[in-house]
Structure 1
Amino acid sequence: MSDLPLKIRVGIRDQWESPRAPIATCIDSLAKTLGYTISPQIQWSALYATLKDSFVDQGMFVSAVCRIGIAFYGRMLSRIEDKMMADWTDSLLDGMMKRETWVLKIEGHEDASTQRPLLTWDEDRGSFKIEIPKCKPPGNSIIEAGFDEDLDALFASPYVLSEPTIPLPPIPTQASTLQSSATPPPALPKIVVDGADDWTEVNDSGEPTSASTPPSPPSKSLDADPPSGRSPNPNPPTPSPPTQSPTTQSPTTQSPTKARPQSYGLQRPTKLFAGPTVNPVMTIDASGSRLVVHCSHEATLQQLGKYLNRWARIDYNDSLKRPMLTVQMIESAFFDDVIDTIVIEPTYSRGVTEPLNPTFILSFVEGVLGYKEEYTNGLRWILKLYPIRI
């Protein structure tokens, strides 16, 4: 944080990191009632770089972030203590019991059209996220009302994020196949010769029509016999090669040079690796007693993980009725808030040495998600996706 202005560093020390700060009191109060500590995480340098244009006074930047954090913890605590929100609290606890640690990530929002902070959550990462827009911070009433609206929408679908859709090509039906095969291609006009100089064009109905302009005769070789009544030219002119201006070049043959983008002009990793700018790459390692899937496209891993969890085989000999395989999503060590690994291993891994069968994973990745194999040695696979379909 050494690149931040002095006022902001002092504000972080006094208003955010101090154990006597109001935000610390709100965190402790919610943890005692909820049973889980939701620890805030902020990359201050990146947040200030995104929002600095909205704060003329640098001293107000940390205060505004603190107000937003206090509003989140306050609305969460108010809902949990409200008996009318018992069903919502039960749904929240059902989702949070899957992980021991939870965090609150506060980031900047590039879209300036949004007029209030947005709140979302992600069970796979064990995190809540607040995105602060690039505008003047609204009042506390607007922030709290907006958070209430976002908290109501957390469980609109059954406690999980919506699955990304995969557009697949339409399957041709028998009727469309017969219709396309029964439709003949358009007939081309036929041209026949009635002598050396007379040409007749026949239309589609078979009736001859006289052509207004006779076509040019076919080209002949210089060694071919000349027409009767004509003498061959003993010294035929040598055709000169076509000339082309050295400075003029056809635009279709020009290969434009694509400039390499600057690193500071690229999008953040959560958007750069999710869009069509880069081609997703996946590796599958089945050499050990667990399957490890690495992928640069997070939506691919989410789709794979949700499908495996939905249809997981349950071990009915287990008193807790847990799945026989555990599917764990791991956050990337390269970038913040990006999942790049799935680990699939037996729930009871003690004494298990046989490798897991990777065929279902390979079939799903290639058949459903559209990845293509680039290399394999029988235990490891490298696959790519052209283009992104998820």
Structure 2
Amino acid sequence: MPFFRSSSPVKIRMGIRDTWDAPKSPLRVAISELSKLLGTSVEVVVDWSMLWNVLSPQYPDPTTFVPCIEEATRVWAECLHERLDSDALEDWTDKFLEKFKTPGGMRTDIGVSENGMDRPEAVWEENRNRMSLLFPKKATGRVYLNTLQAGFRSDLENLFDRKSVATTSAAAPMTLPIGGVSAVDEDDWSVVPPTSAAAPAIAPVQRNFDTPQAQAPAEVLPEKLPTLATLARPEILFETQTPYLIYVRKYGDKALHIEGSHQGSLTLICEYFQKWVRKDRNYNGNCANFGFGFDYPQVLEIDKQTSLFGLNAGFDYVKISCNRWELLNPTPFLAFIEIVLKYKLVEASSGVTWFYRRDTKFI
């Protein structure tokens, strides 16, 4: 039975219940079809506590964690079913069935890999006579459906050409096993409904492949739309995914709007210019209203406008207005976007609009 810290996100436990364990979920349907084809039970074993502990930095929105794991596992099951059902691959199927001649059915463990692969991969554990699905510990971005399909098809094609060597050394393991004994004290862990079965203790496994890692095809393939459940909330999605976009609009000689998808960039623009904007010492109002010492207003007003999307109080554009008779010069803002934030100008129109893009993530 899997365990979870009582402080673990509730959304993950809900995701396990609604996405992974639901009897009619796409994953359960795919596993059921694979089991019928093989004529034996198919079991996917997950230690959710350890998996979340290792991979949580990749999922700032916890609601996408289980759906992403479910999607990859489902695609693996569908690719394996497709291969086993192909008349043109009978030799491979015979070898697969020979390997999986076990009375307890087919069991697959889900683990974490540090071998540099940027997508989930299927590997064969020769010493344990078992297949494992390994998720990258340091993924650089979302893995799309087409990449999953191409990658798993390549993994299965070369499944038995790779060799693995078991080791008990934990100094620098290439693979972090999921399903083994937890590395933390479990006294304060609370039980959640089981996924498939309790995972036995497993020694770390180090892989030394004789052949190069199979990569997805180099040619550009058409992409399928991601599923809704795997997409984070807007304020998280646009902060963690590139490209970042900024659109600057000039309204007459007194106003400027800076619209952006990356709130961190907009925040830095606001903080920098608010720090250095000058005071309006020609203000003719009642200075007593500003307290002792005459706290003059600034010559510019910089207002953050709340976004219409998401769940928090984030903002997605900045309104800048000039309070004086002088013209508002947009070039310092444009220079800041290019010099400091290192966005690239994509398009400009008659000194009125500017469109910028950045493809490299901010740390």
The TM-score by the shorter chain falls in which range? 0.3 to 0.5
The structure with more radius of gyration? 1
The structure, 1 or 2, with the larger RCO (C-alpha pairs under 8 Å, 6+ apart) is 2
